[in-house]
Structure formats: structure tokens, C-alpha cells
Structure 1
Amino acid sequence: MKYYFYLLSLILVSNFGFAQKSDTVYINPKNIQVADLNDGKSVYLVYYRQHKEATRTMTQFWTRAVKRKTENGKTLIEVYQSWEDKDSIVHTAKSLCDAQTFKPLFHESWWKVRGKNSTSVYNYETKQATIDGNDALKDTSTKGKQLMVGFLKAADAYHLNWHLDLEVFSILPLSFHKTYAIPFYEAGYKEPENIFYTVSGEDQLTGNDNQPIACWVLTHESPGNKEIFWISKKTKEVLKLEQEVNGKMYRYKIKLGFSD
């Protein structure tokens, strides 16, 4: 009997070790699965909680519209975002990506908090950038120079638009216990870098009519930040995010079942 339990313990330890092993997949134009991206409009409910049982606060609705189009003989994917709070639009963004690799070609954004005429435009093909109508490449401040160095590096390298993270997660070659190094870049910030996300498990969410939805669980952690995404195995859509910020606040994104 002791020998049986000894063998059982070895098996359990062995299986646990195997389950914990995670191979890293570096995302590139050859393994990104752009064909899996769904066209159409999605709406996400976004809100915060002070703790998991607290009242929802800072509620917003994020609309994201994906469509494939052709411009100047080139097939593109356009993603348009509009974020609303309780009484106004607070952010819009238009992003164009290569239809085969999802590499960013153009990104234009506006934020209400920065003012009515505050628009940033980044054209990766022409290597031009404007902020509030001014040529960003002529910004001689230390910060301005650093940001433009990052932009020019991004223009010359394969990267993915971090502002389109929900769409990017839909086109990853997801598999159990794989870690994905995604070359993310947020327009106007530091240069591209690999951000690591791991498929840490599987789970089920309950959809309309109490239908179970099989999901991959994708996780990411950095100092003061932990994110857990639920991604439908069938449709590849991100259905839910739960984010813990500094152990003091939680942010949620929930994909709504219908959009107007």
C-alpha cells in the first residue's frame, strides 16, 4: 500500500510539472491568424469596482466596428472605436491594418480629455505623425524626441497595435499552456516590445439561453497589474476581462450579446 501511494505521488508530481510547463510562441506574420477576425460591430460594457462585490462605477460603452476594405488596390482591415460614458463620447480611434499580417498602417485618435481639437495621426507607411495638427517629428523636447524614435522604430518593424488588443487576441494561435510574445506598440509611446500572455487554462461562461461557452483563459501580469481574459474557442472573440489594479481596484470588460 505504501508503494502504491509512492507511485501515485510520483504521477501527480509529474503531471503537475507537465501542466506548469509553458512554451513561448513569438507572434509574427507567419503565425498570426488574421482570417479568424470577425467583421461587424461589437459593444463592450466597461466598468470599475473597488472590490469584487462593490457597486459598479465609471461605466462606459465601447463600440468596435471591424470591416475589410480595399484602398488603392490594397486590402485592409479597418477598426473604428467609439467610447461613451454616461452622457458623451470620450474617445474615438480609426486604425488601418494590413489584411494579411494585421501590421498597423495608420492610426488616428481623439480624446475628449485633451480638448475638442486634439487629434493624433500616425501614418506608418509614410512615416509621418501629427499631434494637434503639428508635425510631431519636429518636436525638439526630450520627451517628443523619445516618442518619435519609438514611432520610427515601429514603422520599420513588424508590430501589432496595442490599442487593438481585443482584436489581436482573437487572431492568436491559442493552445493550452502556451505563452505568446506579442510585439505590441501603442502609437505615441515608447518603442515596440514583446508583451507576454499565457493560456493558463480553460473555462466556461454562460451565454444566452443558459448555453455554455467554452473559453480559453488568457492571463497577463506586470507590476501592479493582473489581467484575465476569457476568449471563446468557437468564435475567437474576447468575451470578458477581469483586471486587478494594484490590488485595490478591479476593471471589467463584458462583451454584450447584442449591439444596436
Structure 2
Amino acid sequence: MQKFLVIIVTFLLSSLISWSQKMDTIRITPELVNTKVLIPGTHRWLVYFKMGADSPRTMFNIWTRNIQKTSYNGKEGIEVSQEWEDKDGIMHTTRSVSDAKDFRTLYHTSWWKQRGSSTFDFLKAEAIVNEKVITKADTSVRLRRTREAFEEAVPQYTLNWHLDLEVFPLLPYRNHVTFLINFYDPGFSAPKWVAYTVTGSAKLPGLNGEQVDCWLLEHHETNNKETFFISKKTKEVLKLEQQFGKMYRYKIKLPFSN
């Protein structure tokens, strides 16, 4: 009887541990990010779409991102500049400065080929769209929503959703953990907590037959599934597989940058 009770207790404890691992959720706060893992220099990703699982690749982009140390209004920062190219030329550029300690957004400026320019200074609480400071006097629905979202973001600890490829390396990975990240993409919707779950591991084929051990980080929304491959060694995002409906998008980190 005693042996039977030991077996039952052991089973219950094992089940409880397994359940707790599956339910492990971490709300990302400043002390949990590790900015030291970011690799300075130039990095590039190939981005393309497939209109179906067996369709040819199309809509090619090259994303160039440069990481370097900087200072902003007396604060130590990390600057990430981006340049997105399509077949016709440059379609998008950004310059973002995040706090060197916890990667909170300090400054973000961007230009879109079809949208124009915008600048968001979190230390000055100032937003500029197409060279005009936006205020409560603006009646445009777009500008009002942009201003209200920015004002909501300024006092919060947010991470820049436009820097997701730099944010994901900073997280404290382990199996079966869900990260809740307060993401905000300056110029767009208000900050929101977004869930990303470490679902396991996988190996990606690398150069010279190397098998790169990666974490699998997944995000699900209605009609949208993203799976990021995060190198366990370098912490870099090496690949994204995204499916929305019958359409697919991929981001592949290039091994060389010129």
C-alpha cells in the first residue's frame, strides 16, 4: 500500500511540474532583458512571400539593419538603423534609439515611400508627422489616433515592435515559457501586451554542414502564425516562417553582409 501511495504521489508531482512548465508565463520587465547579447555591426535578412505552400517565391526585399552604441540626451543608447530595399529601390528607412540598459524606446524616426516621414521623441514627449508637430488641435482622425497612442506609450515601459528582430535575442529563453511583451510600433496602434511562446527546439542547416541549434518562438493571432528560429548560441533571429491564410512570408538571415 505504501509503495502504491509513493507511485501516486510521484505521478501527481510529475504532472504538476509538467503543467506548471506548460503554463509558465513571464511578463517582460526592464530587469529581464539582456542587451549585452546584441551583436554590433551590419546584419541583413532576405524577405520574401509565397502565395501558397508550393508556389514560387515572390515580392523579394532585403532588410539591412545596423546596430551600434550611441548616446541620446545624456543617456547611453543602442542605435538600430534600417534600410529596406525592394526591386525598385529603397522603400523604407528608420533610425531607432533604445536605452542601453533595458532597451526601452527613447527615439524613433522613419520614412516610408508611400507614407512619408515621422519622428517620435519619448524623452521630449514630442511627435512629428511629415515635419509637423501633432497636437490636440489636429482634427485629422489619423493624426489624433497617432497622438493618443503615443501619449499612452510615453509613460510606459514599451519595446519597439519595429525592432522585433533585436528584441527577441534579449529574452530569457527556456522550454515552455510564454513571454508577454508590451510592444509599441511608433506611429501606429497603442501599446499592447503580445504573447510569444517557446514551443521547443529545432536545428537549422548552416554553413559547412553545421546544424545550428535554435529555440522555436511562436506567436498566434487570428489567421496568422509566426515561428521564429532563435540561435541558442548567438541569440540572433535566423529565420521567420509566417503563415496567414494560404499565404506565407519568410525572413532568412544572410550569412554575409556587403
Normalising by structure 1, we get a TM-score of 0.90
For residues 166-203 of structure 1, what are the alpha-carbon distances to aligned partners after superposition, in whole Å with 9 as ceiling and x for unaligned? 10001011111000000000111222110000000100
Aligned to 1:38: 39
Q: Distance in 1 between matches of 2:81 and 2:19?
A: 42
| Counterpart residue number, 1:27 | 28
Equivalent-residue separation in structure 1 for 2:217 and 2:73 (angstroms): 37
2-side partners of 1:58 and 1:15: how far apart? 47
SS in 1 for 2:32: coil
CA distance in 1, matches of 2:235, 2:23: 21
| 2:246 equivalent in structure 1 | 248
Partner of 1:257: 255
Partner of 2:121: 123
**Aligned-pair distance for 1:140?**
2.0
Residue 75 (structure 1) shift: 1.1
> Quick one: distance in 2 between partners of 1:248 and 1:16?
37
Q: Give yes or no for contact 2:230–2:236 (8 Å, CA) kept in 1.
A: yes
Higher mean alpha-carbon deviation, 13-22 vs 235-244, is at 13-22
Could you tell me which amino acid in structure 2 is paired with residue 125 of structure 1? L
Amino acid at match of 1:63: T
Report the 3-state secondary structure (helix = DSSP H, G, I; strand = E; otherwise coil) of the residue aligned with 1:113.
Answer: coil
Which ranges in structure 1 are unaligned for 5 or more consecutive residues? 1-6
- When the two structures are superposed, what TM-score results if normalisation uses the length of structure 2? 0.90
> Against the structure 1 CA distance between its residues 55 and 135, is the aligned structure 2 distance closer, same or farther, given a 3 Å change threshold?
same
Paired AA for residue 66 in structure 2: A
Inter-partner Cα distance in structure 2 for 1:222 and 1:158: 23
How big is the shift at 1:16?
A: 11
Contact 1:45 1:60 in 2 (8 A): yes
Verify the 8 A CA contact 1:217 1:229 in the aligned structure 2: yes
Distance in 1 between residues matched to 2:71 and 2:153, nearest whole Å: 23
Q: Tell which deviates more after alignment, 38-47 or 13-22.
A: 13-22
Secondary structure of the corresponding residue to residue 230 of structure 1: strand
Equivalent residue number for residue 92 of structure 1 = 93
The 1:140–1:100 alpha-carbon spacing in structure 2 relative to 1, beyond 3 Å, is same
Deviations 1:196-241 (A, max 9, x none): 0000010000110010100000000001110000000000000000
Correspondence for 1:4: none
| Cα drift, residue 74 of structure 1 | 2.3
Give secondary structure in 1 for the equivalent of 2:226: strand
What SS does structure 2 have at the residue aligned with 1:108?
strand
| Residue 204 (structure 2) pairs with residue 205 (structure 1) | yes
| SS class of match (2:257) | coil
SS of 1:107's equivalent in the other structure is strand
Whole-angstrom distance in 2 between the partners of 1:124 and 1:176: 34
CA deviation profile, 1:121-144 (whole Å, cap 9, x unmatched): 111110111111112224223442
| Percent identical residues | 45
Q: d(CA) in 2 for partners of 1:210 and 1:15? A: 40
Q: CA RMSD in A?
A: 2.0
Q: Report the equivalent of 1:166.
A: 165
Q: Is the 8 A contact 1:19 1:177 kept in 2?
A: no
